[in-house]
């Protein structure tokens, strides 16, 4: 972080500079720290410029010009989502900033930081990464400007975006530049890279997305482009491309990502698990993540509003039980550990150890779980319960919780394992995501039928009673999703009212760049091209939102989620508010990974991804 620290290490110069919109917390849940440790472990001297002033080139030049390149990320959150609510009101908090104060990163941080680096270090290669850049790697709908924007590679004038979980691609780039290769030539052989070439170029056997101009002329083409992009990531077998004006954006195949052995090695790196000592105020996200263990990457769900599958992929990559237990022992031995492991999880905790036994390279499904569980998807949920019990047995550990949420339909496929999770590892609240009640809305979301939630509630109530515990369900609900009408929201409110549940807040849908739901919102059609109703203006969106959120509008939507019940009624937790998912909640990513506990959903970041 400073020249003085370089001197203590005996470094005369940096090889790589990472610029991030987050404060620097040296914990594996934070992307810049994770990648900095990764590069350093492979012999590359790496510096971090955390939340630099964006009007001063010296803010990124304090450690000198790096020899190889600069990596730029907006941080764990999309910067626009970090700053604005679903109704475009300014937020006042940022969990990734010392003191929790908003405003430490600029709007469209990836573009601003890239320009800052070019001013400070003319001619230095600049690559983008993290959730903001990853989801903007091709043409995308931008909610905050209500416009179609071209690839961020073009707008930022960056050499490339290293999209997804970028450990392999970042290391490959560093090695290529160390060997003297030209970056424009090297990128063709780097997995998970998006970069621009002249529009006259041609690619053999590439998956060609609709051009930027064709989407402008026919918005439904954005749905086609998004579905092709999803297939490109899932099948992982060839390059893709998209023409934009006189340029063409090339996307290499995402690559295999880190497998179990490499993931295990990553978590043995010497993280201090603390914020940088230069900060005089606490970073809220540090405390939120301090007692958590991240055990896998990827999500098989493929929800249409979620950024997870497009960023981390649908393939589940899990750490070994041995590695998780070693981290648990190390955590139990850290100063200040209170005996509680706050979360053992991932994008969906009960997907640990899951695998596809089929041929993903030819798979055309958009979800492994809906409309029904794929016969090739194998989930070892009893092994997950055994892992939780093993963590519980670590000396010094008194409580183990799964706070990052379960996938209900997957859990119900093994009621015995799910019952054990409810009885033994629920810390008073179980976070699940029915999202809605209307069948046609759930199909557009790629979520299971509402009957799944009702079955889960019965099991949860039975198993909680069996354990002698009073426990809550926290159902995540969403208003104003494409295809949803006021009547649909009224029917959901009536169901909640019938149970005596009164939500104070509910998340209003935000069309996040790159997602299928954003494409439906922009085009006004479903994923088959059929017209659907879309609540667009704030008045229409508010009309749906307030049916569950009640009166008070933005005042309610700005606070934490909660659901209140009359005294004496069976309890339940509540849907989230209009804020981005927080660490410890559900949801992408830094240059390679982010700091969230659940990557994606409607938050713009990946669970640690």
Task: Write out the binding residues.
Answer: 299, 303, 306
Instruction: Give pLDDT, residue 550.
Output: 62
Element (H, E) at 433: strand 429-435
For 478-500, how does the pLDDT look when each residue is reduced to its tens digit (9 = 90+)? 999 999 999 999 999 999 999 88
CATH (residue range 278-552): 3.80.30.20
pTM value? 0.90
**Contact by Cβ (8 Å): 442, 435:** yes
Structure tokens at 348: 């969906």
**Contact by Cβ (8 Å): 598, 343:** no
Lowest-confidence segment of 136-140, 152-156, 289-293 by average pLDDT: 289-293
Residue 344 phi, psi dihedral angles, 5° rounding: -115, 100
| Domain spans of the chain, in order of start | 3-194, 278-552
- Quick one: which of 465, 473, 394 has its CA closest to 427? 473
Calculate mean pLDDT across residues 306-317: 92
Instruction: Give pLDDT, residue 426.
Output: 92
For 372-382, how does the pLDDT look when each residue is reduced to its tens digit (9 = 90+)? 999 999 999 99
Share of the chain above pLDDT 70, in %: 90
The contacts of residue 373 (CB under 8 Å, 6+ apart) are: 409, 410, 413
* Per-residue confidence band for 403, with pLDDT thresholds at 50, 70 and 90: confident
Instruction: Give pLDDT, residue 605.
Output: 33
CATH of 3-194 given 3.40.50.280, 3.40.50.1860, 3.30.230.70, 3.90.180.10: 3.40.50.280
Task: Write out the binding residues for [4Fe-4S] cluster.
Answer: 299, 303, 306
- Write the DSSP string, 97-157: SGGGBS-SS-TTHHHHHHHHHHHHSTT--EEEEHHHHHTTSS-EEETTTTEEE--HHHHHT
- Write the DSSP string, 289-315: HTTEEE-EE--S---TT-SHHHHT-SS
Lowest-confidence segment of 122-126, 383-387, 399-403, 453-457 by average pLDDT: 399-403
Instruction: Give pLDDT, residue 570.
Output: 33
Strand stretches in 205-251, DSSP E: 207-208, 240-244, 247-251
Separation between Cα atoms, residue 111 and residue 104, nearest integer Å:
15
For 102-146, how does the pLDDT look when each residue is reduced to its tens digit (9 = 90+)? 999 999 999 999 999 999 999 999 999 999 999 999 999 999 999
């Amino acid at each position: 972080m400073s020249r003085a620290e370089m001197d203590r290490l005996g470094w005369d110069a940096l090889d790589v500079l990472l610029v991030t919109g987050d404060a620097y917390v040296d914990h594996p849940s934070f992307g810049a720290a994770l990648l900095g440790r990764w590069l350093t472990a492979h012999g590359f001297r790496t510096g971090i410029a955390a939340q630099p002033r964006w009007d001063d080139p010296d803010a990124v030049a304090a450690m000198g010009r790096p020899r190889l390149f600069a990596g730029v990320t907006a941080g764990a959150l999309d910067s626009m989502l970090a700053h604005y609510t679903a109704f475009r009101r300014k937020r006042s908090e940022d969990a990734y900033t010392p003191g929790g104060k908003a405003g430490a990163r600029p709007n469209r941080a990836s573009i601003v930081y890239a320009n800052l680096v070019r001013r400070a270090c003319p001619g230095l290669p600049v690559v983008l990464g993290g959730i903001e850049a990853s989801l903007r790697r091709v043409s995308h709908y931008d909610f905050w400007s209500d416009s179609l924007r071209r690839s961020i590679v073009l707008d930022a004038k960056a050499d490339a975006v290293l999209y997804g979980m970028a450990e392999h691609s970042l290391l490959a780039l560093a090695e290529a530049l160390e060997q003297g290769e030209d970056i424009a030539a090297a990128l063709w052989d780097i997995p998970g890279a998006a970069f621009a070439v002249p529009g006259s170029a041609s690619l053999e056997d590439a998956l060609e997305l609709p051009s930027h101009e064709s989407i402008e002329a026919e918005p439904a083409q954005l749905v086609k482009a998004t579905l092709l992009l999803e297939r490109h990531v899932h099948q992982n077998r060839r390059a893709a491309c998209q023409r934009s004006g006189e340029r063409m954006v090339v996307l290499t195949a995402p690559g295999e990502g880190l497998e179990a052995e490499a993931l295990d090695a990553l978590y043995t790196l010497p993280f201090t698990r603390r914020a940088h000592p230069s900060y005089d105020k606490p970073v809220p996200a540090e405390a939120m993540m301090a007692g958590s263990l991240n055990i896998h990457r990827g999500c098989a769900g493929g929800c249409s509003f979620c950024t997870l599958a497009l960023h981390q992929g649908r393939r589940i990559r899990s750490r070994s039980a041995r590695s998780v237990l070693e981290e648990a022992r190390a955590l139990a031995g850290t100063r200040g550990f209170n005996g509680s492991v706050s979360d053992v999880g991932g994008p969906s905790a009960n997907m640990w150890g899951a695998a596809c036994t089929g041929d993903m390279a030819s798979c055309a499904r958009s979800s492994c779980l809906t409309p029904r569980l794929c016969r090739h998807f194998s989930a070892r949920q009893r092994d997950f319960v055994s892992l939780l019990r093993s963590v519980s047995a670590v000396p010094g550990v008194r409580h183990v919780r799964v706070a990052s949420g379960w996938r209900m339909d997957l859990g119900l496929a093994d009621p015995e394992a799910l019952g054990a999770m409810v009885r033994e590892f629920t810390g008073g609240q179980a976070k699940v995501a029915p999202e809605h009640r209307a069948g046609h809305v759930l199909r557009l979301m790629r979520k299971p039928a509402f009957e799944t939630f009702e079955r889960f509630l019965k099991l949860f109530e039975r198993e909680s009673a069996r354990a002698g515990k009073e426990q809550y369900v926290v159902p995540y609900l969403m208003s104003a999703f494409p295809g949803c009408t006021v009547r649909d929201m009224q029917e959901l409110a009536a169901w909640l009212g019938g149970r005596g549940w009164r939500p104070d807040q509910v998340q209003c849908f935000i069309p996040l760049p790159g997602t299928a739901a954003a494409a439906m919102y922009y085009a006004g059609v479903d994923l088959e091209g059929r017209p659907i109703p879309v609540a667009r203006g704030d008045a229409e969106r508010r009309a749906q939102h307030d049916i569950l959120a009640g009166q008070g509008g933005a005042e309610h939507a700005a606070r934490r989620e909660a659901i209140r019940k009359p005294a004496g009624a069976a309890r339940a937790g509540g849907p989230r508010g209009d804020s981005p998912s927080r660490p410890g909640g559900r949801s992408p990513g830094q240059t390679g990974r982010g700091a969230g506990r659940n990557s994606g959903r409607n938050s713009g970041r990946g669970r640690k991804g």
